[in-house]
Structure 1
Amino acid sequence: MAKKTAFTPKAPVEKLPLAIRKDLRDNYDSKKEEYETQISELLGTKFTINISPQELWAYVDGFISGLKNFLENYEDEGKTYFNKVVTQSELTVTVNPLGDDAPTISADIKDGVFRILFKHDKLGYNQSWLDKNYFVKAVDAVTEETFSLKAKSSIEKEWEENVDDLKKEIGEVLNLSDVILDPNFEEVYAALKAAKKDDDDWQSSFGAAILGYFKDGLLYQLKYAGFKEDDMLQEGLAEAVPSKTIKFRIVKALKSGYRNEAQIEEGVLYLQVKPETWYSNVSDMGDNVMKLL
């Protein structure tokens, strides 16, 4: 098979035809300041549009629409993540270096500049396709935060908004009002990221998954086993778990379960799962608690 020729972007034209220059003057140059103001207001920082008219001129509306969609979904956290990685507070548009393998439109962040990337033979196509998914993918590809924006958002919207009610309910079932629920987010996230290098889909449901293991799994199994109505079961678990702590973790291998299991070690009740079976059979979590007492 012949070696594929590397794609080389064409150089910008030196001078555009009169009709195009007039269109640029009427429909782009006259609105550039307005566009920059809109973006600056959305992000809370002065933002610059750095687009060469000789390369293209009509993607800014799509960027603003996509940015609004992104901020509506990820709110202040999204703005913080975006501004931390788009350090130059600048937008530009350029041809995708992937050449024929490039999608019609995409985006990335390079050297602190947000770049809209178009396929070399699709200039002007799908300008309005830049939605929140393009933005979060670009941000997460370069963020140096502990969690990706997708994972952080899921933690806040799923776990943090529900954990107080969950703690109260588990405490009532166990007759343990000061029970401690430890999601162990940082260690779990690091373990999953290392194990799933080519897959980041799990990140968007990261908080929901851990909440599910505690709520739809452990809590359900405790109720099913009759802990709420049985003083002896409550006392047995309290004796086995003097730390009053229920902690989630990732392990390489399970001792008894097929997809997940509970184990007691050094006075802590662990809910554990392998990376390969992440977020599956959630309702089974804790079905072996009775056997541990």
Structure 2
Amino acid sequence: MAKKTFAPKPALEKLPLAVRKDLRDNFESKKEEFESQINEILGVAVKINIEPNAVWAYAEASGASSAGSTIAGYIEGFVDAAKSYVSKFGDLGKEYFKNAVSKAELTLVVNEKGADADSIHADVKDGVFRILFHQERLGYNQSWLSDPFVKAIDTAPQEGFDLLAKHSIETEYNAEIETVQEEIGKTLNLPDVVLDPNFEENYSKLLKKADKDWQRTFGRATFEYFNDGLKSQLERQGFKGDEMLQEGFAEGVPSKTFKLRIVDKTKSGSTNETILEDGVVFIQTTIDNWWYNVYEAGSKVVDLL
């Protein structure tokens, strides 16, 4: 049987007096304060633009009058989610929010997925942040917006890395890699050794994966190829304190560079491999083997020289 296409209910032509009073007392009177809170948290002067007549068409009980309280509950959920978001992602999160929500507007609408929708969700459409409610569950789970908030910003069209990948790079790679570079430099007696994460190229290839969970750990995985793999491998291969090996590396790798690269297929058929190409040592893996057996990264470097 063909899936039924979702058709939104028409907006109510006129709201009952009791509903209008509740809107005035419990939402419209608080709207300016909500906007002020959002601006303070996110650094963006977001305007709340909600059509109560369209939202209240989904009120379960014909006699329900708490439209203002209900809509305010969703905005309070947004405010709490924004606090959680900024607590985790900081200024980076603010930047991504501003870029994604380019119209600086917040609204509340029914989820077009119809019966298949979650009770609460969110997205960014045409530069507007949309809180999405289930057609039969208006007012449900209003405080459960933290995860949908992050997903809405992460999946919004952006130039470069998605939010989760960028955050992982900043906190799990950039914040720690300098120490690893220094340690590898001491092992090879090359203080200016270069560790090239090749983020842009690897990211573009990993986007082909159906499962997008890798984005949350993109920086951590990249870090471990150099820290848990390469650094340990070089020590095990005896480079530390061995002038002959150190000189052999300096001669064989004039670029002084280790570069992480994702390829369609490794030459050896193994999970990871190490090759020397144009004076650069490439640590290679494939999309399907990303973040597997990272301890192998940098194996057999000595055999390449």
- Tell me the TM-score normalized by structure 2: 0.91
2: CA distance, partners of 1:164 / 1:3: 57
Residue in structure 2 matched with residue 230 of structure 1 by the alignment: 242
1: CA distance, partners of 2:269 / 2:91: 40
Q: Deviations over 1:132-191 (max 9, x none)?
A: x32232123222311111111111111111121111000001111111111111111111
Residue in structure 2 matched with residue 5 of structure 1 by the alignment: 4
Gaps of 5+ in 2: 57-70
2: CA distance, partners of 1:66 / 1:288: 48
Residue in structure 2 matched with residue 153 of structure 1 by the alignment: 167
Amino acid across the alignment from 1:10: K
2: CA distance, partners of 1:86 / 1:224: 50
Amino acid across the alignment from 1:137: K
Over 3 Å counting, the alpha-carbon distance change for 1:4 and 1:257 in structure 2 is closer
Amino acid across the alignment from 2:250: A
Residue in structure 2 matched with residue 239 of structure 1 by the alignment: 251
Q: Would you say the 8 A contact 2:47–2:105 is kept in 1?
A: yes
2: CA distance, partners of 1:11 / 1:124: 19
Residue in structure 1 matched with residue 66 of structure 2 by the alignment: none
- Aligned: 1:120 with 2:155: no
Residue in structure 1 matched with residue 223 of structure 2 by the alignment: 211
- Aligned: 1:107 with 2:122: yes
2: CA distance, partners of 1:223 / 1:256: 23
- Aligned: 1:80 with 2:128: no
Q: Would you say the 8 A contact 1:81–1:143 is kept in 2?
A: no
Q: Would you say the 8 A contact 2:117–2:134 is kept in 1?
A: yes
Residue in structure 1 matched with residue 294 of structure 2 by the alignment: 282
1: CA distance, partners of 2:281 / 2:3: 56
Which residue of 177, 180, 187 corresponds with 2:201? 187
Q: Would you say the 8 A contact 1:36–1:47 is kept in 2?
A: yes
Q: Would you say the 8 A contact 1:107–1:134 is kept in 2?
A: yes
Q: Superposition RMSD on alpha carbons, in Å?
A: 1.4
Q: Would you say the 8 A contact 1:95–1:120 is kept in 2?
A: yes
Amino acid across the alignment from 1:192: L
Structure 2 SS opposite 1:261: strand
Structure 1 position 16, deviation (Å): 3.2
1: CA distance, partners of 2:157 / 2:177: 27
Which residue of 186, 198, 221 corresponds with 1:172? 186
Structure 1 SS opposite 2:158: coil
Aligned residues: 289
2: CA distance, partners of 1:238 / 1:256: 25
Structure 1 position 84, deviation (Å): 1.1
Structure 1 position 260, deviation (Å): 0.8
Q: Would you say the 8 A contact 2:99–2:158 is kept in 1?
A: no
1: CA distance, partners of 2:77 / 2:14: 26
- Tell me the TM-score normalized by structure 1: 0.94
Q: Deviations over 1:43-86 (max 9, x none)?
A: 22321111122315230000011111111111111111111121
Residue in structure 2 matched with residue 269 of structure 1 by the alignment: 281
2: CA distance, partners of 1:46 / 1:208: 34
Q: Would you say the 8 A contact 1:109–1:138 is kept in 2?
A: yes
Which residue of 197, 211, 218 corresponds with 1:199? 211
Residue in structure 2 matched with residue 26 of structure 1 by the alignment: 25
Over 3 Å counting, the alpha-carbon distance change for 1:163 and 1:266 in structure 2 is same
Over 3 Å counting, the alpha-carbon distance change for 1:257 and 1:219 in structure 2 is farther
Structure 1 SS opposite 2:153: helix
Residue in structure 1 matched with residue 48 of structure 2 by the alignment: 49
- Aligned: 1:256 with 2:268: yes
Amino acid across the alignment from 1:22: K
Structure 1 position 17, deviation (Å): 3.7
Q: Would you say the 8 A contact 2:77–2:144 is kept in 1?
A: yes
Amino acid across the alignment from 1:69: S
Structure 1 SS opposite 2:288: helix
2: CA distance, partners of 1:44 / 1:186: 28
